[in-house]
Structure 1
Amino acid sequence: MRALIVDDERHVREAIRLLVDWQAHGIEEVMEAQDVASAMERIGRDHPQIVFTDMIMPEKLGTDLLAWIREHEPAAKVIVISGHDDFDFVRKTVLYGGMDYILKPIDPEQLNQAVAKAVESRKQEDEGTKQEQRKAIEINQLRPVYWDKILTNLVEDPSYYSSIAETLRTEFGLSEDDRLCRVAVLATDTIHPTIRSKFAGSEDLLYFSLLNICNEIVRRHRHGVAFRHEHGAIVVLLWKQTGNAPALLDTVNGGIRQAFGSPLEFCLGGERPLPGGIKQSYHEANIVLRQRNMRASRPRVRCFDPDENPRLSAIHLSEFEDRMRTALRSGQEQPIRDIVRLWMNQVERMSYINTEQLELWNHEYSVIRARWLKELFGDLPAVPSRSAESAFANAPVDQEGCLVLSALAEGLEQDLLQLSRQWAEHQRQDEHVIFEIVKYIDSRYAEEITLQDLADRFFLSREYISRKFKQQFRENLSDYIERVRMEKAKLLLMNPQYRIAQVAELVGYKDEKYFSKVFKKQEGLSPNEYRKREK
């Protein structure tokens, strides 16, 4: 906190400095002024929270300063220190909001009590102001979210209109004379990466900026409102001059171009009755959005045409699945590049590619990739991570919003190459861990070794260990352990000092009879017969 001492007598200013325990009251800076004019200048510049003032000073009185503070710095707390016990001075101190009136000579205890009261009052007011500011910020933050929800409900269910009509009139200027509506959807899938990069990857911040530009123009003359649909799309609902909607959206695009350096695409539904036709116009706008030919330059505002119904000659990625899998398993880059090139040759023949085709490829590739991960990596607890949601999830576009096929192919190729490298590395690690398991068994064959013990030790599933062991060694894990034990038992049987029971125990069998049974099954001879034969 800051404090200002206003008095034309220097010794009084110094006395106040000495008598107040500034540190105890949390006042860090104490300033001085010798008259009302310099006090006004200091208060206007430094905004002290606490002001001490005399009443009788040259040129202007302390009451003039009190009146000025009341008008220009009303939050400041004023303590009057005067040598005049004048009722009019006291009355004006109260009138202008002074905290206390202290007579000279100054009583130190009374002065510090007055300061404590003034500081506490200022703190409470500051905290109240902060709370009000926080509340206002919270309300302002929640307000767009609230209207996004309300307007989403209206677009999805126009019958909702009757319950919010009055609110729409008050908030957005919708009048009873507005009979038509029109809905536009902003195409955010063709926003160029250079624009997205300006927002450090924050989609919420990007959409917030776009909504501000849209509403600045659309709401200026109360033509409508822009909001964010709960599914993520930016939607513009118009109810005035709907026939002139394309021109209005061109104006919005001018604002977007000025802010971001490039205009975006608006897909516009037809004119429909308000409110019943809101949902239909929104549906039409989405049809326009999904039917855009991503291979060709398009108008920045595209209107719904009921006669337009393009027929697609779809190319299915699944037709290339087997050849892609073979190329991936090869571990070589060239086969992968060849199969991507083969697919791209067919894609380049397509003169019309819309959002539905891209969504089809995205879905197909996601399913195919998930199947490959299962085939290649099995049920490993840690499956290799993906660098992106899908090679088709974010279609690459140029500044005009046209699909860049070479970048699409590059994305697919890089994803396949990454998978191939991960597969090769997995194979190397696979062999390594299986041989580590073998070394572990060979050094502990006499212990009770279960599949679960191995799974816990090597952080793998029992099923994975069992399957991979069988693939590598062409025998079950339990058969391998049994075979190792029998080989060790044969060596021990060559030493006549060991009894059969001791040999059994040394290779992990506590039951001599069971050991003899297993041994005979493996070797065709009992342990005794084998010992006699090998003498």
Structure 2
Amino acid sequence: MKAIIVDDEKHVREAIKLLVRWSDFSIDQVLEAQDGLDAVRQIEEHRPQLIFTDMMMPVKSGMELMEWLQSQYPSGKTIVISGHDEFELVRHAVQYGGVDYILKPIDHEQLAAAVEKAVSAIRREESERRLQQARNIEMNQLKPVYWDKILSNLLTEPKLYAQHAKALDAEFGLGSSVKECRIAILSLDTISLSFKDKFMADYELLFFSLTNICNELLSARASGGPRQGIAYRYWNSDSEAILLLYGGLDQTQALLERIREGIRDTFRSFFDTGVSRVHPFPDGLTAAYLEARQILRRRNLLIREKRTLIAGPAAAAPSSRQLSFTDHAEPIRLSVQSGSEEQIRRAVAAWFADVRKLECIDMEQLEHWWHEYNVVRSRWLAELFEGDGHRGEEEHSTPFVVPLDEEGFLSLDRWEQQLVRSLSELSRLLLSHQRQDSNVIFEIAKFIQNHYHQDITLQEIANHFYLSREYISRKFKQEFHVNLSDYTSGIRIDKAKLLLLNPNLRISQIAAMVGYDDEKYFSKVFKKTVGVSPNEYRKVNQP
């Protein structure tokens, strides 16, 4: 903090310098001036926060200095130190913002109290200024977001305009005199990869920069007349900036060309833009947005040029749906089951050979293929991982992202590579799952071999291995070509054959030892399996 002492008497200036404990008030520089004119020069140069001044001085008096301070430097705090106690001088000091009026000779305590009062006021006002600056910065940051959300809501609910009409008129000139409008959409879903990488960490900055450029060119200053529109981020989409145009609508194409050039000069890049026809404002906002969006979604992505597409009578023509992914689904499924990446590449290449024959591919077609792919993929997972809760599924209801090359154009080559990688990963999951299935089924077989003598049920086995009964039954038969109960019976009968060779064991004992509580039922099962009763088997095989 700085201070200045203004007095034509040097000994008074020296006294003030000695009486004030400057370091207590964080004042690290004390200037001196011998009259009001000298003080003005130094105040303009050094901007001291605290001013001590005499009232009666040559050249420029303290009264004149205080008048100048109030008009030119109102933030400074002034303490008057004077040898005159006339009422007019005191009144003048109060009128022009003096903090205190101290009479000479100077009282040390009175001076310290005056400095404390002045410094406290300086600090309080500085704190208030910083707080207000922070609030202003916050408001400036929030204001664009506020308007972006209001304007975004108008596209889906035009009736909301009535409650914001006055504010929109004051802020953008979008008042009741506006009867017609057009919507233009700047699409960010096909920007170049280098441009996308540049803003990857801060997409907010991209929207801020883009809308700033557009708003500058839409402003009254740029047009030389009324404002021509508003650019804002559309909060219902991550890839769209909106231009709401309502001035000079017959010159829309020229205006958009200027905006296109402005974006090119700033970003060294272009955007695809879809533009609606003229619609009534505000009731036609939703229709205008949908029209602009539709023409963008139906643009031919095979054309390697960023364009401005303006809706016309042909804009509503339906997209072609002549090529279907499902027509190639079966050979691709078989290639996945084969476990061969080469077979997958061939099957995918056959699909893309047909895709490359098309003269037009639009966003709706791409999303339709993506939907078909996800449907058949889900079906494959249900078939390949049946009964196991789709353990192999780890993704794939993700939104479609256009496969782009470095310049931001549709790349069928990259899409083909992505699909091959995705299907190869699916194939690896399948093979891994099949190996796991085989392992667990053999574990179940070992479990039965170790517990054949117990009355184990299918449900107990299912609980032990955390699998469904149906899944175990199906997989067990696929692996061993016999159902679970026959496998268990086979083990029991084999064990019974060995025990029957011991003449000291009764048939009832042997039945219990291999898991049968009922001797008659054991004999029935044994005869059905071996062809003879247990007693007959024992007689024939006695040593």
| Fold shared per TM-score above 0.5 | yes
Aligned 8 A contact 2:275 2:308 in 1: yes
Which amino acid in the other structure matches residue 31 of structure 1? Answer: D
The structure that has the greater radius of gyration is 2
Q: Would you say the 8 A contact 2:403–2:410 is kept in 1?
A: yes
Equivalent residue, structure 1, for 2:385: 377
Note closer, same or farther for the CA distance 1:38–1:248 as it changes in structure 2 (3 Å cut). same
Aligned-pair distance for 1:171?
A: 1.8
Candidates 318, 328, 342, aligned match of 2:336: 328
Query: 1:156 deviation in Å?
Result: 3.9
Q: Is the 8 A contact 1:327 1:339 kept in 2?
A: yes
Structure 1 segment 91-102 matched on structure 2, within 5 A = 92=93, 95-96=96-97, 98=99
Q: CA deviation at 1:321?
A: 0.9
1:395 aligns with 2:406: no
Match of 2:231?
226
Deviation of the 1:186 alpha carbon: 1.8
User: Number of aligned pairs?
Assistant: 512
TM-score with structure 2 setting the length? 0.72
Give the CA deviation at 1:247.
1.1
The answer for unaligned runs of 5 or more in structure 1 is 23-28
Among 319, 323, 326, the alignment partner of 1:315 is 323
Contact kept, 8 Å, 2:523 with 2:534, in 1: the verdict is yes
SS of equivalent residue, structure 1 residue 185: strand
Question: 8 Å contact 1:79–1:101 — kept in the other structure?
Answer: no
> Is the counterpart of residue 243 in structure 1 residue 240 in structure 2?
no
Equivalent AA in structure 2 for residue 389 of structure 1: T
Distance in 2 of aligned mates of 1:523 and 1:357: 66
After superposition, the C-alpha distances for 1:391-432 in whole angstroms (9 at most, x for unaligned) are: x53232563x54222222222122112222232233334444
Measure the CA separation in 2 of the matches of 1:61 and 1:179. Answer: 64
Q: Which residue of 2 aligns with 1:26?
A: none
Q: CA 1:168/1:69 → structure 2, altered by over 3 Å: closer, same or farther?
A: closer
Residues 190, 397 of structure 1: 8 Å contact kept: no
Kindly state the Cα deviation for residue 92 of structure 1 after the two structures are TM-superposed. 3.5
Please name the residue that 2:373 is paired with: 365
Deviation at 1:98, TM superposition (A): 3.7
Structure-2 change in CA distance of 1:388 and 1:279 (3 Å): closer
In 1, Cα distance between equivalents of 2:43 and 2:331: 82
- Give the 5 Å matches for 1:71-150: 72=73, 74=75, 92=93, 95-96=96-97, 98=99, 106-107=108-109, 115=116, 128-129=128-129, 132-133=132-133, 135-150=135-150
Alignment of 1:195 onto 2:203: no
Within 5 Å, give how 1:1-16 maps onto structure 2: 3-4=1-2, 9=14, 12=17, 16=21
One-letter identity of the residue aligned with 2:376: I
State how far apart, in whole Å, the 2-side matches of 1:185 and 1:214 are: 12
CA contact (8 A) 1:67 1:96 kept: no
Name the CA distance, whole Å, in 2 between partners of 1:388 and 1:139: 39
2:412 is aligned with 1:405: yes
Structure 2 contact 275–311 (Cα < 8 Å) conserved: yes
Q: Once the 2 structures are TM-superposed, how far is the Cα of residue 129 of structure 1 from its aligned partner?
A: 4.9
Q: Distance in 1 between matches of 2:204 and 2:477?
A: 52
Provide the residue aligned with 1:33 in structure 2: 30
Change (3 A) 1:480 1:303: same
TM-superposition CA deviations, 1:94-113 (whole Å, max 9, x none): 953648979966459x9599
Question: What is the match of residue 415 of structure 1?
Answer: 422
Q: One-letter code of the match for 2:293?
A: N
Q: 1:138 to 1:504 in 2, by over 3 A?
A: farther
| Structure 2: runs of 5+ lacking an equivalent | 6-12
SS in 2 for 1:292: coil
Are residues 114 and 475 of structure 1, via their aligned partners in 2, closer, same or farther at CA, if it must alter by over 3 Å? farther
Deviation string 1:20-46 (CA, Å, 9 cap, x unpaired) is 4x8xxxxxx65232426899979987x
SS of residue matched to 1:35: strand
Q: Match of 2:9? A: none
Paired residues of 2:233 and 2:241 also in contact (CA < 8 A): yes
Structure 1's 202 and 386: CA in aligned 2 closer, same or farther, altered over 3 A?
farther
Residue aligning to 2:301: 294
Identity of aligned residues (%): 34
Deviates more, 1:244-253 or 1:264-273: 264-273
Could you tell me whether the CA contact under 8 Å between 1:66 and 1:93 is conserved in 2?
no
Give me the CA root mean square deviation.
5.3
Deviation at 1:248, TM superposition (A): 0.7
Whether the 8 Å CA contact 1:189–1:395 is kept in 2: the answer is: no
CA contact (8 A) 1:267 1:304 kept: yes
Residues 107/70 of structure 1: CA separation in 2 closer, same or farther (3 Å cut)? farther
- Deviates further, 93-102 or 215-224: 93-102
| Residue aligned with 2:313, SS | coil
Query: C-alpha distance in 1, partners of 2:462/2:101?
Result: 80
CA–CA separation in structure 2 for the residues paired with 1:82 and 1:444: 108
Spell out the pairing of 1:209-224 with structure 2 (5 A cutoff).
209-220=209-220, 221=223, 222-224=227-229
Change (3 A) 1:157 1:380: closer
Does residue 1:345 correspond to 2:353, yes or no?
yes
Q: Is contact 1:5-1:53 (8 Å) kept?
A: yes
Are the aligned partners of 2:181 and 2:278 in contact in 1 as well (CA < 8 Å)? Answer: yes
What is the distance in 1 between the residues matched to 2:154 and 2:92? 60
Distance 2:376 2:458 in 1: 32
SS of aligned partner of 1:322: helix
Tell me the TM-score normalised to structure 1 length: 0.73
8 Å CA contact 1:100–1:114 kept in 2: the answer is: no
What amino acid is the match of 2:234?
A: H
Contact 2:500–2:510, Cα closer than 8 Å, also in 1: yes
Q: Do the aligned partners of residues 199 and 398 (structure 1) sit closer, same or farther apart at CA in structure 2, a change above 3 Å counting?
A: closer
Q: What SS is found at the alignment partner of 2:312?
A: coil
Structure 2 residue matching 1:350: 3-state secondary structure: coil
| Structure 1 residues 192-237: Cα deviation after superposition (integer angstroms, max 9, x where no partner) | 2221111125544433332222222123441011233343132222
Residue 349 of structure 1: CA displacement? 1.1
